[in-house]
Amino acid sequence: MPKKLRPQDITILLVRPRYPGNIGSTCRVLKNMGLTKLHLVRPSVLPTHPESLRLAVGAADLAKKAKVFGTLEEATQGLRYLIGTSRRTGKYRRDFVNLPELGTKLPIGQKVGILFGSEEKGLTNKELAVCHLVTTIPSNPDYPSLNLAQSVAVVAYQLRLLMQAGLPAIEGKTFELASVEEVEGMFQHLEKALSAIGFLEHKNAFHLMRTIRQLFGRTQMNDREVRIFRGICRQVLWATKKEPLSK
């Protein structure tokens, strides 16, 4: 019996959306598909802008309760698994899934955030690096650039199917995932430790960290695993005399 995806576990995040119409259209289609949680990171206007409300039509309630944040970090607090949407699948972005197969990767019963970038450039590399997974909407290679609200529509439709039909069972994915903040804290700890051993003096340090982030992102770490890795980092920092072990 597949477990159903629950709407309350999904948060849609628009990162730096520029056109109020896209914010309103996003509200409308999210409500159409039974989704209710919308976070906006540095939007050009508030979701209650008249043009946004005009396009939200019957979903003004969603526009009014959408949350606005100054940073992506704040907007993702409490979420356990972040999925970026991007049509670029560069060589450093191996942990990606085609949208129709998204259900095979969603952790059951966890708080999931789905990120959409700005109309002009999409998500930046830095924003994508924070995501555990990147998903791509299948499209015409000659003209792959979808309108923001259209992208949300297609992704929300795919999520609706998963809410109705259920997720494919994933073995061993029923533990509690570590939160985004916990994993981020671990990465920062790790970066410090890797610096301490001189590993990040390499000219490809940024790419190396990205690869490490992707590797951990893919594994969907739980609390205990995060604690273990932070223990290793502490040990490294103590061994290189940068910090006392008691910290």
Q: Which residues bind its own copies (CB under 8 A)?
A: 25, 28-29, 31-34, 55, 57-59, 100, 137-140, 143-147, 149-150, 153-154, 157, 160-161, 164-165
CA nearest 96: which of 222, 207, 13, 218? 218
The least distance separating its own copies from the CB of residue 36, rounded to whole angstroms, comes to 10
- Pairing between β-strand 81-85 and β-strand 96-98 as defined by DSSP bridges: unpaired
Residue number, 140 or 246, with CB nearest to its own copies: 140
Taking the alpha carbons of 120, 122, 125, 126 in that order, is the dihedral positive or negative?
positive
Residue number, 33 or 186, with CB nearest to its own copies: 33
The least distance separating its own copies from the CB of residue 158, rounded to whole angstroms, comes to 8
The least distance separating its own copies from the CB of residue 132, rounded to whole angstroms, comes to 23
Residue number, 157 or 215, with CB nearest to its own copies: 157
CA nearest 168: which of 79, 101, 97, 219? 101
Which tokens go with 16?
């730096």
The least distance separating its own copies from the CB of residue 31, rounded to whole angstroms, comes to 5
The least distance separating its own copies from the CB of residue 142, rounded to whole angstroms, comes to 8
Q: Hey, what long-range contacts does 143-149 have (CB within 8 A, 24 or more apart)?
A: 144/87, 145/87, 146/87, 147/22, 147/119, 148/14, 148/17, 148/19, 148/22, 148/26, 148/116, 148/118, 148/119, 149/21, 149/22, 149/25, 149/26, 149/29
Residue number, 33 or 75, with CB nearest to its own copies: 33
Residue number, 78 or 100, with CB nearest to its own copies: 100
